[in-house]
Amino acid sequence: MLILAVPYVVVAQSPITPQQSPPDRHTEATDEYNQKLEQLLLPRETLDPEAKDYRIGTDDLLDISVFEATDLNRTVRVSADGNISLPLIGNVRASGLTSAELERALEELLRRTYMKEPHVGVFVKEPHSHAVSVFGAVRNPGVFQILGSKTLIEMLSMAGGPSDDAGDTVIVMRHSHQLAAAELPSSSIAGSDVSIKGGATGDSGATAVGTAATPGESATEINLKNVLESGDPQYNVQVNPGDVIKVTRAGVVYVVGEVKRPGGFTLKTNENISVLQALALAEGLTRTSAKSKTRIIRTDELTGARSEIPIDLGKILGGKAADPELHSKDIVFIPNSTGRSALYTGSQAAVSIASGLIIYRP
């Protein structure tokens, strides 16, 4: 398991007043990450269900045509157990086969009982089985159809790269329904292992036209910086259909208001910082800060409700009060002591300011 800490860094931006709309800007370091993705990215294949090596999988929609008996033509969807059901034949294993291999298997089944020289056509009308899910701290999370295997870098690029709040860890979860049958030789598809199970349903009635391995589920944690910067192929792992990729989110605390460099600060893995540490990252207070009116704005992760915790920075700096520990997504809000203090009267203003700050990553 490879989990390396990403140090928190200072975020720099001019103070933003509540009247300004939060800018829609990405972090410099995230842009660098995404530039590295483009540099490392290999040419991507498109998902072409008509390609000779495309292998059918669960949920694919197939058009089956029997040219000598058009009443047998069907549009069928591959079931969760990898089978399709056809008149006269019953259940036939389709998952893991190419269109040509399934055509030969169906022709063999029809030839044994019903027809002398059947001609079957199989067309993948809608491919749905070669999906990889990418979610978490990426710009465009979603489900992506792929042909064959891809590298982790390719999949991250398809999802738009890491988002501003991306953490230091990528988790690749592998599931047992990957199509290991792709490794089978074509000679094992139709022949002595083909049998007729007329009208039966379920696994016990499926026609065996190949076998598929079912590896156990597992999860691999990889450091994002190693993937993008080390150049070591062991980090750029292969991703297969059925895998799930999660990019973890970094812990971030914000310091806004009357500080010299307001902004957000990313945390190391499993790290917490105190108010004074966050204040140091913001390069200290301005001359017009109202230290005694400082507040910590905290959001409940379960309910989304915000609460305000009043603190006196003057007493904390003087060692007369404890230095509170901050949680991820906390906002330390230092209002102005002059006439401009009216601009900073509530948590909503502070939250609006924090949402527009840039988060710089190392």
Show the domains of the chain with their CATH numbers: 36-47+130-178+215-249 (3.10.560.10), 61-128+186-205 (3.30.1950.10), 251-355 (3.10.560.10)
Q: Report the relative pairing of strands 120-126 and 61-66 from DSSP bridges.
A: antiparallel
What's the mean pLDDT in 226-233? Answer: 81
User: What's the Cα-to-Cα distance from 330 to each of 30, 34, 36, 166, 322, rounded to whole Å?
Assistant: 22, 27, 31, 17, 17
Looking at residue 300, its pLDDT comes to: 87
Is the per-residue pLDDT at 34 higher than 70? Answer: no
Beta bridge partners of 334: 257
Q: Compute the distance between CA of residue 226 and CA of residue 222 in angstroms, rounded to an integer.
A: 8
pLDDT for residue 231: 75
Q: What is the pTM assigned to this prediction?
A: 0.55
Report phi then psi at 280, rounded to 5: -65, -40
Mean pLDDT over each residue of the chain, to the nearest integer:
74
Contact 153, 236 (CB under 8 A): yes
> Residue 81 in contact with residue 176, Cβ under 8 Å?
no
Q: Token pair for residue 41?
A: 């990215």
pLDDT of residue 286: 92
| Sheet strand arrangement including 218-223 | 142-145, 131-136, 244-249, 166-174, 218-223
Mean pLDDT, range 35-53, rounded to an integer: 51
Angle at the Cα of 114 from the Cα atoms of 108 and 119, rounded to 5 degrees? 50
Q: Checking DSSP bridges between strand 252-257 and strand 142-145, what pairing results, if any?
A: unpaired
207 forms beta bridges with 92
Strand-strand pairing, 218-223 and 252-257: unpaired
pLDDT bracket for residue 112 (50, 70, 90): confident
Average pLDDT over residues 284-309: 90
Number of neighbours of residue 11 by Cβ within 10 angstroms: 23
Closest CA relative to residue 352, chosen from 25, 19, 27, 26: 19
pLDDT exceeds cutoff 50 at 4: no
Mean pLDDT on 179-207: 36
Place of tokens 């190419």: 98
Percent of the chain residues topping a pLDDT of 70: 66
* pLDDT higher than 90, residue 193: no
End-to-end CA distance of the chain: 22
Looking at residue 207, its amino acid is T
Do 72 and 119 touch, CB atoms closer than 8 A? no
Structure token digits, residue 234: 């062991």
Partners of residue 331 on adjacent β-strands: 254, 297
pLDDT on residue 106:
93
Average pLDDT over residues 40-57: 57
- pLDDT for position 195: 35
* Winning range, highest mean pLDDT, from 129-143, 158-172, 312-326: 312-326
Exposure of 195 by Cβ count < 10 A (0-12 exposed, 13-18 middle, 19+ buried)?
exposed
Q: How confident is the model at residue 319 (pLDDT cuts 50, 70, 90)?
A: very high
pLDDT, position 241: 84
- Quickly state the pLDDT bin for 216 (edges 50, 70, 90): low
- Higher pLDDT pick, 53 / 225: 225
Q: If you average pLDDT over residues 195-218, what whole number do you get? A: 41
Rounded Cα–Cα distance for residues 283 and 300 (Å) = 28
Residue-wise DSSP of 29-69 = HHHHHHHHHHHHPPPPPP--TTSTT----TT-EEEEEETT-
For the cut 90, the answer to whether the pLDDT of residue 309 exceeds it is yes
Handedness of CA 2, 219, 147, 47 (dihedral sign): negative
Q: What is the mean pLDDT of residues 91-97?
A: 90
